[in-house]
Amino acid sequence: MTPSAPSATATTAGPRLAEPRGELSATVTTALRSNGDPEYSPRAVLTADPWGEDLQLALYLLYELHYRGFDGVDDAREWDPELLRLRRAMEARFLYALGTELSDAPRSVTEAFAPLLVEPVDPTGSLTHQLERAGKLWQLREYAALRSLYHLKEADPHAWVIPRLRGRAKAAMVAIEYDEFGAGRADRIHAQLFAGLMADLGLDPTYGHYLDHAPAPLLATVNLMSLFGLHRSHRGALVGHFACVEVTSSPGSRRLAKAMRRCGAGPAAEHFYDEHVEADAVHEQVVRREVVGGLLADEPSLEADIAFGCAATVHLEDRLAEHIGAAWAEGRSALRTPLEGP
C-alpha cells in the first residue's frame, strides 16, 4: 500500500493565540484563525513603531509558527507565502530600527565582547544585581513569567545555526546544545528545569501561557533570536547573539540563584540558575574559542555580523531592563497584566 501524504490541514494543539494589540497583530490573528490571507496595507508596516506592542507581537506570532504553532491553526501556515511576505516587511522595519540605533556599535569581535568579560564597576540598571540585593518574591515571579517565553524553548532558536556551520564551529555548537538539551536526559533539558522553577514560584509552566502578559521590550528580545535563526544570511549575527548570552549567563545566574535562595523561592528555582552558573562558565570558553573562533577562521567576512549580533543582544536587554526597572521603581508591575497571587 502506498502511504498517503500527511494532511494539509493538520492543526497543532499548542498555545492559544494572543489578543491583538493593533492593526498588524489583528491582521495576523485574523488570518490564522480564518485560514485566509492577511489583509493589510504596506503603509501599515512602514508607519508602525518598530519597538511597539503591535509590530513586536505580530512578529512573535509569525515566528511561533516555526516552534509550537497555535491551537487550531493549520501547521501548513508556517510556510504560507502571504504570511512570509508580511513577516519579511516587518523584519525589515525591525532591522532598520536596530541598525539605526546601533550605527556606532563595534564592528570587531574583540571590541564587541570586551565589555562583557568584566563585571561593571557601577551595576546601576542591572536587573540581576537589583534582584540579588533587594529583589522581592513578586519581582522574581514577574521576571520568571517574562523570561518563560524564551526559557521554555531554551536553545531552540540557536539550533537553527548548526547546519549553517562546519568544522570547529559546528562541533563546538553541537556540544553546547547537547548540554542545553539535557545531555540525553529529558528531565535535564534546560527548558524542563525552567518549568520546575516556574512551579516553585507558583507560576503556570504551560508553554506560551504568559504571552498576553509580555510587553514589547520582552517580545523584541525573543524575536531577535528567531529572526537571526530563521535566516542563513544572519548566521553570523546568531552566533554573536549566542556567544553574548553564554558570556553573560554565568555571573547573572549566580546573582539570580542567590536571589532565589534569599526569597525562599524553592529548590527547583535555585537549581535552574545553579545549573547555569556551572554549565555556562564552561560554555563561555567553548563558544568564544571554538564557535566564534571557528566561524571566523572559516568565514572571516562575518566578523561584523558577529559583532552586530552581540551589540543587538545587549541593546535589547538594556531596553528590557530599563522597562522593568522603571516599573518596579514605581512599585508597579512590569507586565501588561499583573500576575495573580501564587
Intervals of CATH 1.20.910.10 along the chain? 109-329
pLDDT at 121: 59
pLDDT score of 55 more than 70: yes
pLDDT score of 120 more than 60: yes
Q: How do residues 295-340 score in pLDDT, each as one tens digit? A: 999 999 999 999 999 999 999 999 999 999 999 999 999 999 999 8
State which amino acid sits at residue 94. F
pLDDT at 341: 72
pTM for the structure as a whole? 0.94
pLDDT score of 86 more than 90: yes
DSSP 194-259: HHHHHHHTT---STTTTGGG--HHHHHHHHHHHHHHT-GGGHHHHHHHHHHHHHHHHHHHHHHHHH
The four Cα atoms 41, 316, 153, 193 give a dihedral, to 10 degrees, of: -150
State which amino acid sits at residue 91. E
Cell numbers 552586530 correspond to 308
pLDDT at 281: 80
How would residue 278 be classed by pLDDT, with cut points 50, 70 and 90?
A: confident
How far, in whole angstroms, is CA 96 from its chain's centroid?
19
pLDDT score of 3 more than 50: no
pLDDT at 123: 72
Q: How do residues 128-174 score in pLDDT, each as one tens digit? A: 999 999 999 999 999 999 999 999 999 999 999 999 999 999 999 99
Q: Identify the sign of the CA torsion 88, 91, 93, 99.
A: negative
Residue 271 is placed in which grid cell? 537549581
How would residue 107 be classed by pLDDT, with cut points 50, 70 and 90?
A: very high
pLDDT at 125: 74
Q: Is 136 left (phi over 0), alpha (psi -120 to 50) or beta?
A: beta
Contact yes or no for 27/43 (Cβ under 8 A): no
pLDDT at 119: 75
- Higher per-residue confidence, 9 vs 19: 19
Q: How do residues 19-39 score in pLDDT, each as one tens digit? A: 999 999 999 999 999 999 999
DSSP 283-314: HHHHIIIIIIHHHHHH-GGGHHHHHHHHHHHH
Average of pLDDT values for 190-196?
97
How high is the mean pLDDT of the chain?
A: 94
pLDDT at 1: 34
DSSP 246-281: HHHHHHHHHHHHHHHHHTT--HHHHHHHHHHHHHHH
CA distance 312 to 103: 11
CB contact set of 137 (below 8 Å; sequence gap of 6+):
201, 263, 264, 265, 342
Average of pLDDT values for 211-219?
98
pLDDT at 227: 98
pLDDT at 12: 63
CATH superfamily of 109-329: Heme oxygenase-like (1.20.910.10)
